[in-house]
Structure 1
Amino acid sequence: MNPLERRPLALPELLELIPYRFQDERGFFSEVWSDERFAAAGIAATFVQDNVSVSKTKGVIRGLHFQAPPAAQAKLVRVSRGAVFDVGVDIRRSSPTFGRWAGVVLSAEKWNQLYVPEGFAHGFVTLEDDTEVNYKVSAAYSPENERSIRWDDPAIGIEWPIAVQPTLSAKDEAAPLLADVETGFRI
Structure 2
Amino acid sequence: MSGGRGGPALQRIRARWVGHPGTDWAIASLLTSLHFLAVRLSGAGDVLGWPGNGQRLGIYTTTATVVAITGSFVTAAVAQYASGSGRRMRILRTSEALGSQFRRNWVSILSATLAISGICLLASILDTTGRDHGGVHWAVELALLLGIARSYRVLYLFRAVITAGDADLGEMP
The TM-score, its normalising length taken from structure 1, stands at: 0.24
Q: Structure 1 or 2: larger strand share? A: 1
Higher relative contact order (CA 8 A, sep 6+): 2
Q: Structure 1 or 2: larger helix share? A: 2
Higher-Rg member (1/2):
2
